[in-house]
A and B are shown apart, each in its own frame.
Chain A
Amino acid sequence: MRASLILLRAPGLALLTLGLLVGSISPLAFAQGASSPEEASSHQQGSSHQQGSSHQPDSSHQPDSSHSVAVRGEIVYPVAGPAIVDGVVIVTDGKITAIGTSEEISIPADMKVLQAAVVTPGLVDAHTVVGLAGYLNTHHDQDQLERSEALQPELRALDAYDARAPLVDWVRSFGVTTLHTGHGPGAVVSGQTLVAKTRGETVEQSVFVPAAMVAATLGDAAKGPDQKPPGTRSKVVALLRQAFLEAQAYSTKQKHAPEDKRPGRNLRHEAMLQILAGERPLLITAHRHQDIASALRLQEEFGFRLVLDGAADAHLLLPEIKGAGVPVLLHPSLARPSGERENLSMTTAAKLHEAGIAFAFQSGYESYVPKTRVVLFEAAVAAAYGLGFEAALEAVTLSPARILGVDGRIGSLEIGKDGDLALYDGDPFEYTSHCVGVVIEGEVVSESPR
């Protein structure tokens, strides 16, 4: 019990777990050349474990190099299709290679088998600051917000993500395998976000979308600290419009000005241009209905890809959001109803679902305690407040994968997708159930119940 309370990584324990996989080592996995960046990432992961084992010369355990495992569930929720009673998922070299009932699928004799009451895709936290905001409320542990300037889209999450942050392990222990994390709300444009798996010891091992979105904020939270501008909602929007226009002018000059008069590279303008070019969405955190409306207005003016974030008042603007075709990363169900979020409702998820608006759950940003919420619980509460089990599960797996543009790789249990799975000993949303196993790309990263 005490050991389970130690949150810091214990490589020895991880190796012990890996040691259980001794029988299934496939030397071929390392011999194969990486044919895609994704594969390269997963192979890096494998080699890091090899290095790790050299620190334990007396260990007879070998690292898991196969990244292959069979997962059997009394009920398996692929999310992409109907639930499978007595289902089996086979993960080979990190990818799902078979899924079906235990009668349809034969498990290779030498393959490690995990078993649980309920198996789901690994959970996807649609928006968090874990890895940038550490678990201590001290300056040195908080990298999600740089307040020196109002707009800094050039700040890369990649340059700040701490893959070893204790909170990464914490959320993973509940079944979260993918995080969309990065710069948080609190400045007009605070910086970029990334998408990472909740494993790996370096940012390169963890991250698979290095620049996912650019985070912006409208409303009170975007106002400057200590009387610094912007001081009003209108000014916040004016600054954003100005930034887009300046980026466009920069682009025009770069393209059309004589070579000696072309401006030097400007990272800020480049980042705004990438948004305008549709390379990545602008994630706008807006809670009040008038701020949500402003976000939609900006999107209409500049034509960028918009993802609404937070959106406490979304239930007041369902037709407008639906009409704009904009997805919503909904505030945590358990967020406190105060300030700009005073109108939030635990039934909003159900209303978005009913309206046919794409949405996903997030753990959000917490300034005090808890230092992070757990997206599993946010989905659970919404499930209980009208959304229902299957829609809630989708909104914490496939739906965020789609909104993040990574549904080709994660979010559901389908052949060819990453072998990311979460195992539970009962209804995953019940408070008293436990996450009893987490698999990322075929690697069993956690087997201690939580």
Chain B
Amino acid sequence: MARPWLRNPYLRLLSLLSITLFLSPTGHGGAQEAGESPTLAFVGARLLTMDGPEIDNGVLLVREGRILRVGAAGTVEVPAEAQVYDFSGQVILPGLVDTHSHIGGGGGGDSSAPIQPGVRVLDSINVRDSDLRRARAGGITTVNVMPGSGHLISGQTVYLKLRQGTTIENLLIRDAEGRPTGGLKMANGTNSRKDPPFPGTRGKSAALVREAYIAAQEYQDKVRRYADDPAKLPARDLGLEALGEVLDGKRMVHHHTHRHDDILTVLRLQKEFGFRVVLHHLSEGWKVAEDIAAAGVPCSIIVVDSPGGKLEAREAGFETGAILERAGVSVAFHTDDLITDSRFFLRSAALAVRAGMSRDGALRALTREPAAMLDLGERLGSLAAGKDADFVVLSGDPLSVYTKVLQTWIEGDKVFDRAVPEDALIADGGLGAGNPSSATLHDGCLAEEVVR
């Protein structure tokens, strides 16, 4: 893959130097011929695989960006030529998956209409924003970047790997056909209620959504019926196409919803149109946990430090995760960054445990469960052979306030390293750390990566 950041002449020079070293007769030999990536071995750490019991002194083998093998020391042979990273005394967790984030300053639909499914957030994201660096510093490796909640349908979301890169293309997660993956952002309740043409009531909100999906059904019908009749084939409509993907189950709906009755309205619409949906935020999810469980719909929740802000969030609390878990609902957390700071994503799980959620459930809610909610469960969410080598190295227990994220790895590349001063600045804060463009000022891990 092209590395656009090599446009930087300094880095390009470093890169050429490293390639020269790599090819020289005195460089590494054996399996590490040019074009073949070395095997990486991460040893000594406690592995929280999210795929079975914890492994106290584990071995994680990585090659070509994928996990080759995972197991206890002694059961997994470390190849002689492997690059070994000793993380003794530390903890490795699968890379955190954030189902709902606004990093990169992107947006969706404008104020012209309440339903804009044709708009893509991927066309608006600044991947150089220091937000992304803070997310890496928090151990987040995959995000669902969402447009806002001020519309019934504000646009298409995009799933990103937080790889080092200077264009959105470097970060996309593509499907088997090479298309960018993402969902559709919907919202109900108070955020999307405004002056016309936006809805003024909850009833109107639901009516507009029903009309939109019925229009999409009719559009799909015509496209299928007149596939061989160009005269009658309707003109392409990007919005209806996106809604069609939702109706076909190919595009997940990510639905902002807070109040208990709004949550039930989503379930009602979901039943009518048969789309696949993840419920987001759920301030009052605890009131209708049994209904959500019966519908088999997964939930991605936010944990904030106090209730309120708006009326529909006045009964939000730390207990939502525990109550949904007990009801048998699949639960994930999200940052909703900028609402909570991506550097403290682990804290969301810890506060949910404080309020009664199981430790295992809370850790799965940062990894496995959100991966499944993005239809990426096959590739992400646990440390298992064949999955992407996305993981985070922690100084201690993931739920302790005293624990620091030491390193973040994506597909076998280190994207954050607390030992690098530029990365530590982002992790801790300090002069220049919050500047949105600081990613262009300090390349941190990127510089180290190229040198390596």
Contact = CB atoms under 8 A, between A and B. Distances in A.
B432 interface: yes
> Chain B's interface: helix, strand, loop or mixed, by majority?
loop
A175 to B, nearest CB: 13
Contact of B401 (A134, A344, A371, A381): A381
Contact of B399 (A336, A345, A432, A434): A432
Contacts of B286: 1-2, 5
Interface residues on A, range: 35 or more
Contact of B315 (A7, A337, A384, A434): A7
A5 B306 contact: no
A129 to B, nearest CB: 12
B432 A343 contact: yes
Interface stretch (B108-116, B176-184, B227-235, B350-358): B350-358
A4 B317 CA distance: 9
B21 interface: no
B311 interface: yes
A347 interface: yes
Contact of B310 (A2, A136, A373): A136
A344 B429 contact: yes
A167 B308 contact: yes
Nearest to B347: A431
B52 interface: no
Given A337-B429, A343-B430, A431 B356 contact: no
Contact of B319 (A4, A135, A315, A380): A4
B323 A432 contact: no
Max count, chain B CB within 10 A of own CB: residue among A338, A377, A429, A431 = A431
A2 B355 CA distance: 12
Interface stretch (B60-68, B268-276, B338-346): B338-346
Interface residues of B, number: 42
A244 interface: no
Interface in A364-389: 368-374, 377, 380-381, 383-385
Contacts of A344: 429, 434
B310 to A, nearest CB: 6
Contact of B429 (A166, A346, A373): A346
Interface string A332-358: 001011100111111110000000000
A5 B308 contact: no
Interface in B301-346: 304-311, 313-315, 317-319, 322-323, 338-339, 341, 344
A343 B435 CA distance: 8
A2 B400 CA distance: 27
A343 B315 CA distance: 34
Interface in A133-157: 134-138
Contact of A7 (B314, B323, B351): B314
> Chain A's interface: helix, strand, loop or mixed, by majority?
loop
Nearest to A333: B429
Contacts of A134: 308
Interface string A146-184: 000000000000000000001100110000000000000
A450 to B, nearest CB: 8
A316 interface: yes
A342 B307 contact: no
A427 B35 CA distance: 51
A430 interface: yes
A433 interface: yes
B402 interface: yes
Interface of B: 286, 304-311, 313-315, 317-319, 322-323, 338-339, 341, 344, 347, 350-351, 353-356, 399-404, 428-435
9 smallest CB-CB distances across A and B, nearest first, come from: A135-B308, A337-B434, A342-B434, A431-B350, A345-B429, A369-B309, A370-B305, A371-B308, A370-B306
Given A136-B309, A371-B308, 5 more contacts: A334-B344, A336-B338, A337-B434, A369-B308, A432-B399
